[in-house]
Amino acid sequence: MAYKALYRTYRPSTFEEVAGQEHIVKTLKNALATRKLAHAYLFAGPRGTGKTTMAKLLAKALNCDEGIGCQCNECKNCKAIIDGTHPDVIELDAASNNGVDEIRELIDKVKYGTILGRYKVYIIDEVHMLSTGAFNALLKTLEEPPEHVIFILATTEPHKILPTILSRCQRYDFTKLSDEDIKSRLKSVLEKEDIAYNEDAIKIIVSLADGGMRDALSILDQVLAYSGNKLEVQDILDIFALESKEEKIGLLNSIINKNVSDVLARVNRYISMGTDIKRLTDDLLLILKDILIYQSSRNVDCLEILNQEEAASFFKHLDIDETLKMIDVIMGAQKDYKTVSSIIPLFEVTILKLVATKKDGTPNVAPAPVSEPVVEKPVAPQPKPEPKPEPKPEPKPVKQEELISLLDQPESEPEPVKEIVLSKNVITIKNTRKENSFDIGDDLMIDIMVISKKDIKNSLIDNWPNIKKLIGHPELGKAATMLVDGRPLVASQKILVVEYQFPNIAEKANLVENQEAIQNVIETVFNRKMFIYAVSRKDSVRWQQSYMNRLQIGKLPKADTVSIEFEGE
């Protein structure tokens, strides 16, 4: 049986199961109980808040065999509506059927009686997409439809609907769901699916969903496909290129302490790892908001991100005025993100603005006069990311002394540059060269993702900064510089896919002439012989979505049917 997405599996089947929208549920139930039914309804609100679901529930309550207002889900009418096969409940997508002809055809059928139920219900989704001519054709019928016909119009943009249409409908405004409603539904789904979960992971999904239940369940679906039968914070951070709360707190502490070197090292890592910069900026603002709340009221119940201990830790180093100025800087950056071609330089400047602002809001003065000859210990040294990772333990694959000895050894005889070829579920890496660069298609990438190993990828990510130690190497320095700007996306025993923020760097890494040197860097640092393929962030997102789509319809190949062969092995 084909896999069914969670948001479809757990769609509410009665009014009582609807999360949020209590004002709408109560009004509709009272209208059904007193038989005060309108001939046309308009459901307006953000995506994923239950407009179409509520329309189907209303259609079910109008036609259930047990009586108006009931939703037994057992009678022929209820089952037909659930399956989408009820002849008297007609759904029309106005985004693709927005012309006058489609509406006139609908109007011609309105006059006919019902076939199975009491009422003929027309659900027109994204109704704002109808043309002006189509709206005008609908006007008369919408105002005076037959007694057995009810129209339900759904839209995310009610301001685009003609006032003459609006005046003929009862309007219900759907609001974004509260965090508690979404959290409660996610926990219910996880318990029904018998999946272990982490509370912090649920909070992150709720934040990403932005008030949409459908989005929350879709995100949960994607994370579970990646992580298996467990919901963990790190899996969500990996998929959506997010940073942990501890990392964001660490960044703010470095900014407050004016540790420029550490701040820039962190920013460089965010960029090289493809972190979602806009999301990071939003999260920094939320943390500062929590700090401001704690500074102003000591009310821990209103904290959204931080706990009391974390909020109190900032209290010693920030006052309210400085917190407000930092908030102003970040809010200014959020506004400017919409107008710049690249947000990365703006993000870097924003972070430096935060560092360079004193408590009174004025910029820091120079650490020492220009004429002063003493340069032995500058207060604000230029950032040098390379020495910063020194406190971290050496990577497991190669110890420091072993790495130095490897670098001192002469380069081994170069092997022929390899080319990757796909035949039926077999990935072959041949010792031939036919093209100037490698280009992997969708089918091959999906096969590589199927055979990927999460533990290998995590090991590479943990030790990726060690590649910097090869930047000064006479033979491998160029390839190391190219690799350090990327981040491991997918890894198996013999293939590594590296993600880059910018397409031009990925294209350069895929040149045949660079493959041998890149492979040698990976083998030197990680003691693994792997074929390396580079992708841009845009392609990465597209392939991950394709992977999810194939997973949901059961079209992914099985891992044991895909093999990798190196010619000459």
| Residue pLDDT, tens place only, 480-501 | 888 888 889 888 888 899 988 7
Q: What is the 8-class DSSP label of residue 307?
A: -
Asked if the model's pLDDT at residue 189 lies above 80, the reply is: yes
Asked if the model's pLDDT at residue 177 lies above 50, the reply is: yes
Q: Are strands 426-430 and 419-423 parallel, antiparallel or unpaired?
A: antiparallel
506 is written with which tokens?
A: 């990925």
Largest Cα–Cα separation, the chain: 95
- For 38-63, b/e burial (b = at least 16 CB within 10 A) is ebbbbbbbeebbbbbbbbbbbbbbbb
Q: How many beta carbons lie within 10 A of that of residue 112, not counting itself? A: 11
What is the per-residue pLDDT across 333-360, written as a single tens digit (0 to 9) for each? 999 998 888 888 999 999 999 988 755 4
What is the per-residue pLDDT across 363-418, written as a single tens digit (0 to 9) for each? 443 334 333 444 444 444 454 444 444 444 444 454 444 444 444 444 444 444 33
What is the per-residue pLDDT across 511-553, written as a single tens digit (0 to 9) for each? 888 888 889 989 888 888 888 888 888 888 788 878 877 777 7
Measured at the CA of 420, the angle between CA 417 and CA 423, to 5 degrees, comes to 150
Q: Which domains does the chain have, with CATH numbers?
A: 21-173 (3.40.50.300), 179-240 (1.10.8.60), 245-355 (1.20.272.10), 419-566 (no CATH)
Measured at the CA of 410, the angle between CA 404 and CA 413, to 5 degrees, comes to 130
pLDDT tier for residue 435 given thresholds of 50, 70 and 90: low
Asked if the model's pLDDT at residue 154 lies above 90, the reply is: yes
What is the per-residue pLDDT across 447-468, written as a single tens digit (0 to 9) for each? 888 888 888 888 888 888 888 8
Q: How far is CA 460 from CA 82, 389, 506, 563, in A?
A: 47, 16, 18, 22
Q: Which of 47-56, 365-374, 424-433, 478-487 has the highest mean pLDDT?
A: 47-56
Asked if the model's pLDDT at residue 206 lies above 80, the reply is: yes
Q: What's the confidence (pLDDT) of residue 315? A: 76
The alpha carbons of the chain give a radius of gyration, in whole angstroms, of 29
Q: Give the span between the Cα atoms of 342 and 363, in whole angstroms.
A: 26
Q: How far is CA 232 from CA 89, 188, 282, 459, 512, in A?
A: 41, 17, 22, 17, 38
3-class DSSP state for residue 387? coil
Tokens 């006139």: give the residue.
104
Q: Is 204 left (phi over 0), alpha (psi -120 to 50) or beta?
A: alpha
Q: Give the DSSP letter string of 241-261.
A: T---HHHHHHHHHHHHTT-HH
Tell if the pTM clears 0.75, that is, is over it. no
Burial of 418 (0-12, 13-18, 19+ CB in 10 A): buried
Dihedral sign, CA of 487, 491, 494, 497?
negative
Q: What's the confidence (pLDDT) of residue 376? A: 43
Q: Give the span between the Cα atoms of 285 and 304, in whole angstroms.
A: 11
Q: Give the span between the Cα atoms of 126 and 106, in whole angstroms.
A: 16
Q: What's the confidence (pLDDT) of residue 393? A: 47
Residue range 166-173: mean pLDDT, rounded: 90
Residue range 274-295: mean pLDDT, rounded: 89
Alpha helices in 394-453 (DSSP H): 400-408, 442-450
Contacts of 405 (CB under 8 A, 6+ apart): none
Q: Which of 104, 112, 149 is nearest to 130 (CA)?
A: 104
Q: Which of 462, 440, 459, 433 is nearest to 533 (CA)?
A: 440
Q: What's the confidence (pLDDT) of residue 174? A: 92
Contacts of 506 (CB under 8 A, 6+ apart): 486, 498, 499, 500, 534, 535, 536, 539
